[in-house]
Structure 1
Amino acid sequence: MVTMSVQFQVSSSSSSSCLWLPNSPSPPNSPLFLPTRTTRFSSSPLAATPTFSSQSPTIQIIGNHTFDGSNQGGTNLWTDLDTDLYHWTKVLRPVQWFPGHIAKAEKELKEQLKLMDVVIEVRDGRIPMSTSHPQMDLWLGNRKRILVLNREDMISTADRNAWAEYFTRRGIKVVFSNGQLGMGAMKLGRLAKELAADVNVKRRAKGLLPRPVRAGIIGYPNVGKSSLINRLIKRRMCPAAPRPGVTRDLRWVRFGKDLELLDSPGILPMRISDQSAAIKLAICDDIGERSYDVADVAGILVQMLTKFPTVGRDMLCKRYKIDEDSECGKIFIEKLAVHLFNGDVHQAAYRVLSDFRKGRFGWTALERPPR
């Protein structure tokens, strides 16, 4: 029988978000952590005595599948990461956030949709799928639509190209933008006018005077809707801040003589059934902080970043000057807390999340198009 080279470590933390093998004897409140090691496999790995070997190929066991050097950065990385996230989030408290103003805004938005000639849906370029409302297609029907992937400056060229190809293949008009610097704003304005050009053609045919094209800008909280409008009209007409829930009322804003824009509050589903998406919303600050445990979310982020070939555990350890080889993100956060924040886990977790949001680990998306 071939031996399996792996090391087992069990945590006593009941709220840990660490890696857990769903088919192992260990329950979720006692996760089994599997650090990256050189391994060999046996037909009964859990019954075998763990040993280390320097002769076998380097394989990293994560969740219930493996990564090796051949698929780093490829399709398997993203597919397997989705599987990991599903298992990691199963042991966490569900992330849910639906403040009262969203219910009111959703009702009003549905009424305003009747007045719109074209709808501009804004998503976070780092997580385009997770910032897609499950009922959006039902609400919009056949209405003309433009998809904006904002924060293009926060993703890599490879991420951008992958998403551009994905949406183009599906016949979806997509614009990449940076609401803070205004990139893509003018292109978006021109495209909105072009798509709705037939509005005034029909009005003239009926003997009516032309009117401005009405474009509604909708999307999840904190994806950059208000900043995008401010860049379009070149002045601060809509309140904007880098946190969710700033815009609470619908507001029409005139852009020149030909275009009217509707700024709307961020709209979330009443219940987020996909907790992998919810965690990504929390990581990217697209959902209220009171809806999640910062330490849990930061722990998941660490586990995700260690899988990215552009980051990895070595970069994390080097940045924070700590030595940690456990696959458990929660343990990493706890060790960082002791090293830099006098044991304050919340501050350590917030630092890691803030560093990611500011691009300290390099700009990268947390999603790639489904295959």
Structure 2
Amino acid sequence: MNFQWYPGHMTKAKRQMQEDIKLIDLVIELVDARIPLSSRNPDIDELGKNKFRLILMNKSDLADKRQSEEWSKFFQEKGYFVYGLDARAKKGMKKITDIIMEACKEKIERDRKRGIKNRPIRAMVVGIPNVGKSTFINSYAGKAVAKTGNKPGVTKGKQWIRLGKNVELLDTPGILWPKFEDQLVGLRLALVGSIKDEILNTDELAVELIKLLKEKYAGILHERYNVNEDAKEIDIIYEIAKNRNCVSKGNEPDFSKAAILLIDEFRSGTLGKITVEWCGDYE
């Protein structure tokens, strides 16, 4: 199964970001807490190499807490400021301003020495499609200032958002990178919904998800769907179809319907708090 999705507007968006980075003090990078490394665009490091950096691990409410703690340590050791959040919830947003001020304290001190007071921190919000950038901005601003959508590709252009006296945010479109060197990265992005489902084979995606769950979260499929986890992945999906009344014409088990049900329940957190990418696998 080959994963790739790089529509034309992403090239244009990347060029625009290269222009805008000159105006920025801080790069705020949102990653998906379920795939913290695979949801990082490698181009962002090059783009923001001389800037202060903050990684927001979004969708932390859907991720395995123990794994999120390990990933936070991983990024902190590399010199990033890190904070876990659920952008849909308003709580914890006040703390982000404190972290931004802490991350940019050298810049604030330089301004003070030059006699410049109350100049806001200018931050670019970046991340891959469907990671929750616009949702985060709206929660942080306390009002709907950025377009949101439960699918990749909603934000098409840039927009500046002023947040009080201290912070200005630049929202940017979600961009992937032209080629995934590791198809496992593509698989993880597909699982969490950062690649359009219309171009994916969801039957195969569900099989890959079951392989991962059997390895990392033994028992979770049996508990949720009352299936035999020792069976082959394809047989497990048919079993889910029978147990969840996913049937086609003629009352036959509908494999594709069950596959989509499984993927949806994983993405929504109904299946449990699951991290697809484990920090320990990289050590």
Q: CA deviation digits over 1:112-165, x for unaligned, max 9?
A: 111110111110000001101122221111211011111111122211221122
Asked if 1:232 is matched to 2:140, the reply is yes
> Per the alignment, do residues 100 and 331 of structure 1 end up closer, same or farther by CA in structure 2, a change over 3 Å counting?
farther
| 1:252-331 matched pairs, under 5 angstroms | 252-309=160-217, 311-315=219-223, 317-318=225-226, 325-327=230-232, 329-331=233-235
Residues of 2 paired with 1:279 and 1:212: CA distance? 39
When the two chains are superposed, the root-mean-square deviation of aligned CA atoms in Å is 2.1
Residues of 2 paired with 1:135 and 1:104: CA distance? 14
Q: Please state how far the C-alpha of 1:360 moved relative to its aligned partner.
A: 2.3
Asked if 1:361 is matched to 2:271, the reply is yes
> Per the alignment, do residues 211 and 356 of structure 1 end up closer, same or farther by CA in structure 2, a change over 3 Å counting?
same
1:55 maps to which residue? none
Q: CA deviation digits over 1:174-204, x for unaligned, max 9?
A: 1111101134322222211233344454445
Residues of 1 paired with 2:156 and 2:175: CA distance? 10
Report the TM-score, using the length of structure 2 for normalisation: 0.89
Residues of 1 paired with 2:84 and 2:24: CA distance? 22
> Per the alignment, do residues 340 and 115 of structure 1 end up closer, same or farther by CA in structure 2, a change over 3 Å counting?
same
Judge conservation of contact 1:218–1:264 (CA < 8 Å) in 2.
yes
Judge conservation of contact 1:295–1:333 (CA < 8 Å) in 2.
no
| 1:135-146 matched pairs, under 5 angstroms | 135-146=43-54
Secondary structure of 2:13 counterpart: helix
Percent pairwise identity: 30
| 1:1-371 matched pairs, under 5 angstroms | 92=1, 94-203=2-111, 205-206=113-114, 210-309=118-217, 311-315=219-223, 317-318=225-226, 325-327=230-232, 329-337=233-241, 340-342=246-248, 343-369=253-279, 370-371=282-283
> Per the alignment, do residues 211 and 302 of structure 1 end up closer, same or farther by CA in structure 2, a change over 3 Å counting?
same
> Per the alignment, do residues 208 and 187 of structure 1 end up closer, same or farther by CA in structure 2, a change over 3 Å counting?
closer
- Bigger RCO of structures 1 and 2 (CA < 8 A, at least 6 apart): 2
For residue 356 of structure 1, what is the amino acid of its counterpart?
A: F
Judge conservation of contact 1:150–1:178 (CA < 8 Å) in 2.
yes
> Per the alignment, do residues 204 and 159 of structure 1 end up closer, same or farther by CA in structure 2, a change over 3 Å counting?
closer
Q: Which runs of 5+ in 2 are unaligned?
A: none
Residues of 1 paired with 2:116 and 2:36: CA distance? 40
Q: Which runs of 5+ in 1 are unaligned?
A: 1-91
> Per the alignment, do residues 197 and 300 of structure 1 end up closer, same or farther by CA in structure 2, a change over 3 Å counting?
same
> Per the alignment, do residues 255 and 313 of structure 1 end up closer, same or farther by CA in structure 2, a change over 3 Å counting?
closer
Residues of 2 paired with 1:226 and 1:116: CA distance? 18
Larger radius of gyration: 1
**Range moving further from structure 2, 261-270 or 343-352:** 343-352
Residues of 1 paired with 2:134 and 2:268: CA distance? 20
Q: Please state how far the C-alpha of 1:209 moved relative to its aligned partner.
A: 5.9
> Per the alignment, do residues 166 and 324 of structure 1 end up closer, same or farther by CA in structure 2, a change over 3 Å counting?
closer
For residue 345 of structure 1, what is the amino acid of its counterpart?
A: F
Residues of 2 paired with 1:276 and 1:222: CA distance? 18
Secondary structure of 2:190 counterpart: helix
> Per the alignment, do residues 280 and 193 of structure 1 end up closer, same or farther by CA in structure 2, a change over 3 Å counting?
same
1:31 maps to which residue? none
Residues of 2 paired with 1:246 and 1:303: CA distance? 31
**Range moving further from structure 2, 257-266 or 336-345:** 336-345
Residues of 2 paired with 1:286 and 1:254: CA distance? 28
Judge conservation of contact 1:148–1:177 (CA < 8 Å) in 2.
yes
Judge conservation of contact 2:34–2:64 (CA < 8 Å) in 1.
no
**Range moving further from structure 2, 167-176 or 254-263:** 167-176
For residue 117 of structure 1, what is the amino acid of its counterpart?
A: D
1:69 maps to which residue? none
1:58 maps to which residue? none
> Per the alignment, do residues 340 and 248 of structure 1 end up closer, same or farther by CA in structure 2, a change over 3 Å counting?
same
Residues of 1 paired with 2:277 and 2:230: CA distance? 25
> Per the alignment, do residues 298 and 115 of structure 1 end up closer, same or farther by CA in structure 2, a change over 3 Å counting?
same
Residues of 2 paired with 1:313 and 1:161: CA distance? 25
Secondary structure of 1:249 counterpart: coil
